[in-house]
Structure 1
Amino acid sequence: MESGIERRSGVALWRQIADDIRAAIGNGVYDATGKLPTEAALAAQFDVNRHTVRQALAALARDGVVRTVQGRGTELLPRARVSYPIGARTRFSAGLGGQVAKAATRFLETATEPASEEVARALALAPQTPVLRLETVGAADGTALSRATHWFDAARFAELPAHCAQSGSITHALKACGVGDYKRLSTEISAAPASRTDREDLGLQAGAVVLLTTSVNADQDGVPIQMSRSRFAADRVTLSVRNAPESGDRDGTGNGDG
């Protein structure tokens, strides 16, 4: 693993080292051994003293990423990930079915705004057409997994926020607005460092990575009804792309964000 620390960046060296190690763990660099190199080896790798390395390891231990065991070195702590399917019918809780005891969606904010060019194009609307924006957090067993922004045609789905508040489900709210079923038209997947908002809403530490999905759903007539941009905590979720459409995959409490 190459050292990416910068000595004049204004960020403490131990923090940069902790972030580099965290990223390496996320990329599976240490999976073969299940533990980190020795303090001396890390000090040599990052060209710092062992005290700085100890500070980095202490920060990772506080975050529940590693633990130091006398005589065995610094071990990686296993972190359970859920597999989240991306397919023709993607629903939050249905996708997590069998992996968690409870999946839930929390609605953070609702607003009406002019459609950006990207949103207008995705929803087949004229630019600046009023759209409804919903901000949500999807959680499993009390742990936040995703932070999402959803857009809908404000004229067609004026009652959607009220139905979301009542049911706690975008899927149920869409059904109440006359959309009995919907399918995924497209999904784009990428990755990026977690933003400050991501860290706050998902409870992530500095240096964390999120998986980004931008998706468009359409009703049974093929008319686009929803564009979503979701950020998944990369150390908690694995995105699994399904090639074949699923049949009968209905959701009770899903947020339809991924």
Structure 2
Amino acid sequence: MGRIPIWTAIHDTLVEEIAAGHFPPGARLPTEAQLADRFGVNRHTVRRALAALADRDIVFSRRGAGVFVRHTPTPYPIGRRVRFHQNLLDANRVPDRRVLHLETRTATLDEVEALDLGGTPLIHISEGIIRSDDVTVGAFRSVFPAARFPDFLEIMRETRSVTKTFAAHGVTDYTRARTEVTAQVATKSRADLLEIRPRDPILRTISINVDHEGVPIEFGRAWFAADKVTLTVTDTEPRGF
């Protein structure tokens, strides 16, 4: 029996280390030079091992950035009742929605139209990132009518939950009235939030949530890294939170 090629041994070692969690989904592998030094081989041998990993969809490369462990796309249902935490828990993922910014300001024209408001009302803004299994998969910006939710900022800062903030104002149930999905490329600022490269493909969603009487209560925009999520249109109704 012949000897196992060196590149195969390197490939197998990296597979074992990835499976053991030494390089979690989204992590960047050491550079070709670092791997060549570690295994005592030339970069061509390392390159062949990495190519074999890529052929198996275990890793992917980004020009100028390196080789990364592939993150299995997070299934993200879009239905009448969209609940972030429950969606990811149902997919056996660990959810984390980090609110980075909260403020109150005057509504813009498109926000007035989306929320069916009159005059120049104040709205509350919530911005942040969406994470799944410690990988950033999306960013969001949502606006809410301040007159309907006067204590929104205070409760959001305490609970970090839109659903709980709604409930504290008497809105115990809400549904998604409309969702639009558009393909885009990431701007520099958006790419930084999503931990991807500028001009990488992203999916933008625009949505409106309504209360049980059909009155708009949330106008939201979200941006997802295209290779990190699978948006699924469904009529199912996930449980709350």
Q: Tell me the TM-score normalized by structure 1.
A: 0.66
Partner in structure 2 of residue 93 of structure 1: 85
Stretches of structure 1 lacking an aligned partner (at least 5 in a row): 1-58, 253-258
Structure 1's 68 and 106: CA in aligned 2 closer, same or farther, altered over 3 A? Answer: same
Which residue of the other structure, out of 136, 140, 149, is the alignment partner of 1:148? 140
- d(CA) in 2 for partners of 1:120 and 1:130? 10
Deviation at 1:192, TM superposition (A): 0.8
Distance 1:145 1:93 in 2: 14
Judging changes above 3 Å, is the alpha-carbon distance between structure 1 residues 75 and 195 closer, same or farther for their aligned structure 2 residues? same
| Aligned 8 A contact 1:218 1:225 in 2 | yes
Distance apart, 1:74 and its partner CA: 8.0
* RMSD of Structure 2 on Structure 1 (CA): 2.3
Pick closer, same or farther for the CA change 1:100–1:201 going to 2, 3 Å.
farther
Contact 1:69 1:75 (C-alpha < 8 Å) held by counterparts: no
Mapped to 2, the partners of 1:235 and 1:145 lie a distance apart of 9
Same amino acid, percent of matched pairs? 30
> 1:70 deviation in Å?
5.2
What does 1:135-214 align with in structure 2 at a 5 Å threshold? 135-214=127-206
The superposition leaves residues 54-78 of structure 1 with CA deviations (integer Å, 9 ceiling, x where unpaired) of xxxxx9996xxxx832596783543
User: Match for 1:103 among 95, 98, 112?
Assistant: 95
Indicate if the aligned counterparts of 1:167 and 1:173 stay in contact, CA closer than 8 A: yes
Give the distance between the partners of 1:221 and 1:150, measured in 2 at CA.
20
Aligned partner (choices 224, 238, 250) of residue 239 of structure 2: 250
What is the DSSP-based 3-state SS (H/G/I as helix, E as strand, rest coil) of the residue aligned with 1:84? strand
Query: For 1:121 and 1:61, how far apart are their aligned partners in 2?
Result: 50
Q: Match for residue 47 of structure 1?
A: none
Aligned positions of 1:7-156 closer than 5 A:
68-69=47-48, 75-76=54-55, 77-78=57-58, 79=70, 80-156=72-148
User: Cα–Cα, structure 1 residues 70 and 135, in superposed 2: closer, same or farther, change >3 Å?
Assistant: closer
Deviation sequence 1:3-46 (CA, Å, 0-9, x none): xxxxxxxxxxxxxxxxxxxxxxxxxxxxxxxxxxxxxxxxxxxx
Task: Report the Cα offset of residue 127 of structure 1.
Answer: 4.5
TM-score by length of 2: 0.71
C-alpha contact (below 8 Å) 2:188/2:197 kept by paired residues: no
Three-state SS of the structure 1 residue aligned to 2:89 is coil
Q: Give distance in 1, aligned partners of 2:53 and 2:115.
A: 50
Give, as a single letter, the amino acid of the residue that structure 2 aligns with 1:93.
Answer: H
Aligned to 2:224: 232
| Aligned partners of 1:100 and 1:141 also within 8 Å | no
Q: Which amino acid aligns with 2:54?
A: E
Instruction: Report the AA paired with residue 150 of structure 1.
Output: S
- Could you say if the C-alpha distance between residues 196 and 100 of structure 1 is closer, same or farther in structure 2, counting changes exceeding 3 Å? farther
**Partner-residue secondary structure (3-state), 2:166:** helix
Shift of 1:98: 3.4
Equivalent-residue separation in structure 1 for 2:141 and 2:93 (angstroms): 25
Instruction: Give me the whole-angstrom Cα distance separating, in 1, the residues matched to 2:225 and 2:89.
Output: 18
Between the aligned partners of 2:131 and 2:173, the Cα distance in structure 1 is: 23
Q: Choose between structure 1 and 2 for higher RCO, CA contacts under 8 A separated by at least 6 residues.
A: 1
